[in-house]
Structure 1
Amino acid sequence: MLCADLISNSIPALQLHDTVSRALQQMDDADVVHLPIVADGKYIGLADEAELLDIDNDDLLLEELHIQWPKPAVNYLEHFLNAVKIASEFKLTVVTVVKEGDEYVGIITKQQLLSTLSEYTSAGEHGGIILLEMEPRNFSLSEISRIIETNDAKILHLNTYTDKSTGQLLVSIKINRNDLQDILASLERYEYTVKQYFGDNHSEDEMRDNYEHLMNYLSI
C-alpha cells in the first residue's frame, strides 16, 4: 500500500499568511499537534503546536516568525511503512506527503497509519500470537512455516526484529487459531525458544490489546 492511498483531504494545510492563533485553532480543530505549511503548492515545513505556543504575539503571521521549520516528509509513491517510520522517528501526529520538488500532496494522520498498520499486521483477525527468540543465523522461514502448517494452522503475519541489547532475533508470528498448544509443543521439539505467546485462555479483546503492545515493542 502506497502513501498516496492514505492521504486525508479533510485537514487543510497552513499557509504562510496564517496567523499563529489561526494555526493553533486549525490544529485544535483537527486534533493534531502538527500541520504542514504550504506556499504556492510547495511544502515549506512542519509547524509544531508546542513551538507556536511559545510565541508571545499570536497575531503574528507564520511568515514573520524566525523559525527554521523542519521538513519531514514521504514521497507519495513510497510504501506506507516509510510514513510509519517517519511518524515514529519524529513523534508526529501527521506525516506530510509530497511529490518531486517538494510539491505538496497532502497528509496522513497518525490514526490512519495505526488503522492501516493494524490491517497490515492482521491485528484484528482471529488467532494467536507466538514470539520466538533465536540466534539470527538459525532463522528459517520455511522450517517455521512447515512446523505451523503441519499442525493445521496458517501464518497470517510474521515479523522479525533484532534485540539490540542481546543481538537475538525476535520472530513475531500471528496464527489463524487460538489453540496453540500443539504448535508450541512442535516448536519446542525443534528446540525453538518461545519467549511469549498469546492464545488459549486469553480473551480475544485481551489478545488484540497484547498484540498491539507487542507490535509497538517490535517497532513495526
Structure 2
Amino acid sequence: MRLSELIINDIKPLNTNSKIRDLQLLFNQLTFSHIPVKDDNGTYLGCFSETDAHCFDNDKPLNEYKYALEDFFVRNNTLWLDVLEAFAINSTNIMPVLSEQNKYLGYYELNDVISLFSESPFFSEAGGILVVEKGINDYSFSEISQIVESNDGKLLGAFISRMNTDLVQVTLKIRNTGLNEIIQTFRRYSYNIVSGHEEDGYIESLKDRSDYLKKYLNM
C-alpha cells in the first residue's frame, strides 16, 4: 500500500472565524491531539493542540489565538520514515498533508502509519534480532552487512537504535537458521553483542568448558 492511500479527509480544518467552543467540541468528540486550522482563503495555517484549546475562552474566535498555532505538516510525497519522524517530533497523533502547491489534502493518523511500518519485512518476516555495539568511529554498515552475509545470513533490516559520543548500537533483523556463527564473527571483529534473540552458543560453550574445568580441578 502506498502511503498516500492513507490520507484521510473526513474532518475538515476549522476556519479562523470559528469559535473556540467549536474547537473544544471537536476535541471532546475525537481522540485527536491536534485539530488543523485554515484561513478564509482555505490556506492551512497550523494546528491547535487539545491542551491549549481547553485553556481558551470558548466565546472568542480562533483568530485571537493564532499565536498558539503549531505549524507542522508533511507533503503527499514525504517518505514514511520522515512522516514517522514528524509525528514523533511534534508529539501528535494527526499529521496534516499538503501538496507541493501547499493545498491541504487531508491528514494521516499515527496508528495507520505505524500499521504500514509493521507490514515491512523487518517485522513481518521470520528471523532473529541481534543488537551489536561498537565505537562510533569504528563501526560500518558495509562491514556489518559483510559479517552477516559471509555467514549465509540475509539482512531484513538494520537501524541505529542508540548512539552517544562514544558508542553506537545497531539493531539487525536477520533471516537465518541460527545466529551463533554470526555472533561469533561479530565478536572477532570487536563488536559487543548487546542482545541476541536466539541462544548464544558461544556463551553456552564457555560455560560448559568452565564447568568441565572446575570438575577436572576438583578430581
Give the TM-score category using the shorter length.
0.7 to 0.9
Corresponding residue number in structure 1 for 2:195: 196
- More divergent stretch after superposition (74-83 vs 90-99): 74-83
With over 3 angstroms needed to count, the CA separation of the structure-2 counterparts of 1:178 and 1:46, relative to structure 1, is farther
For residue 101 of structure 1, report the CA deviation from its aligned partner: 5.2
SS at match of 2:123: coil
Aligned 1:67-216 pairs, distance under 5 A: 67-100=67-100, 102-120=102-120, 122-160=122-160, 163-164=163-164, 166-177=165-176, 179-200=178-199
For residue 180 of structure 1, report the CA deviation from its aligned partner: 2.1
1:63-83 CA distances to partner (integer Å, 9 max, x unpaired)? 344544121112222212222
The AA in structure 2 aligned to 1:105 is L
The AA in structure 1 aligned to 2:50 is E
For residue 85 of structure 1, report the CA deviation from its aligned partner: 1.8
Gaps of 5+ in 2: 201-219
TM-score normalised by structure 2 residue count: 0.76
With over 3 angstroms needed to count, the CA separation of the structure-2 counterparts of 1:199 and 1:28, relative to structure 1, is farther
Corresponding residue number in structure 2 for 1:31: 31
SS at match of 1:191: coil
Structure 2 distance, partners of 1:3, 1:82, is: 12
Structure 2 distance, partners of 1:143, 1:18, is: 58
Q: Is the 8 A contact 2:52 2:68 kept in 1?
A: no
The alignment covers a number of residue pairs equal to 199
Q: Is the 8 A contact 1:2 1:80 kept in 2?
A: no
Identity %: 25
For residue 121 of structure 1, report the CA deviation from its aligned partner: 6.6
Structure 1 distance, partners of 2:155, 2:10, is: 36
With over 3 angstroms needed to count, the CA separation of the structure-2 counterparts of 1:5 and 1:138, relative to structure 1, is farther
Aligned-residue CA RMSD (Å): 2.7
For residue 38 of structure 1, report the CA deviation from its aligned partner: 2.1
- More divergent stretch after superposition (13-22 vs 124-133): 13-22
Structure 2 distance, partners of 1:177, 1:20, is: 57
With over 3 angstroms needed to count, the CA separation of the structure-2 counterparts of 1:173 and 1:49, relative to structure 1, is same
With over 3 angstroms needed to count, the CA separation of the structure-2 counterparts of 1:96 and 1:181, relative to structure 1, is same
The AA in structure 2 aligned to 1:104 is Y
With over 3 angstroms needed to count, the CA separation of the structure-2 counterparts of 1:199 and 1:87, relative to structure 1, is same
Corresponding residue number in structure 2 for 1:205: none
| Structure having the higher Rg | 2
1:82-103 CA distances to partner (integer Å, 9 max, x unpaired)? 2222211121111111124532
